[in-house]
Structure 1
Amino acid sequence: MKQIKKWNKKTKHIFLIFAILVLLLNLTLHTCHAAGDPLAVVNNLSTFIFGLIRAIGMILLGFGIVQVGLSLKSHDPSQRANGFLTLAGGIIITFAKEILDLIIG
């Protein structure tokens, strides 16, 4: 097994300077200039989040359709009820933005 070579005084000094430089560069405040309307950024983020929610709702909607179809084939009423609940939840989640817009006005 190789022994780790001990650092001499010069190497420790160079490493200390490097570490201080890295910390100073990471901890200094950087100014940034916004190029547009700050509300546009919030609206873009809102659109992105509602797009993700819509995708999750579509997945639940598809899963609910499959569950209802399987319950009709197997004549299982509890699975059918779960399928319709999943289907209704998927519809509500898919159209969440439109529902909120109707509520807000």
Structure 2
Amino acid sequence: MKRLYKKEMNKRPMTKKGKRGFTLYMVLVLMMCCSVTTAFASNDPIAVVNNLSDFIFGLIRAVGLILLGFGVVQIGLSLKSHDPSQRANGFLTLAGGVIITFAKEILTLITG
């Protein structure tokens, strides 16, 4: 099979309609990139901080749940293979997952 190089490739010429469509597309892309939108701030800045805090703690909770699941799987595999070191690591991962999952509640209890 013969390779086609740039010199040998046949290019189809762009028609007037194609050039007009491409120009319109490029103008629309540039307008979207250069347009400025106004950001309206909330009246209560504490609400914004609370929303951000809830979002971050939601992400932390998701990581904790993943660790919980991994810890349970590790404990199950260690029981199957009778490996005590893997079992200890599984319990440590499980405990860490519980602490990370309930980090917000723990901090709330500590701070009052």
> When the two structures are superposed, what TM-score results if normalisation uses the length of structure 1?
0.69
* CA-CA distance at 1:33 after TM superposition: 4.8
Match of 1:66 in 2: 73
Task: Tell me if structure 1 keeps the 8 A contact 2:64–2:99.
Answer: yes
Residue type at the aligned position of 1:37: D
The unaligned stretches of length 5 or more in structure 1 are 1-24, 26-30
Greater helix share, structure number: 1
What is the aligned residue count? 78
> When the two structures are superposed, what TM-score results if normalisation uses the length of structure 2?
0.64
* CA-CA distance at 1:36 after TM superposition: 2.2
Paired-residue identity, %: 82
Task: Tell me if structure 1 keeps the 8 A contact 2:42–2:48.
Answer: no
3-state SS, counterpart of residue 45 of structure 1: helix
Match of 1:75 in 2: 82
Give the alignment partner of residue 97 of structure 1, picking from 101, 104, 108: 104
* CA-CA distance at 1:32 after TM superposition: 5.6
3-state SS, counterpart of residue 47 of structure 1: helix
The 2-side partners of 1:62 and 1:32 are apart by 40
* CA-CA distance at 1:83 after TM superposition: 0.2
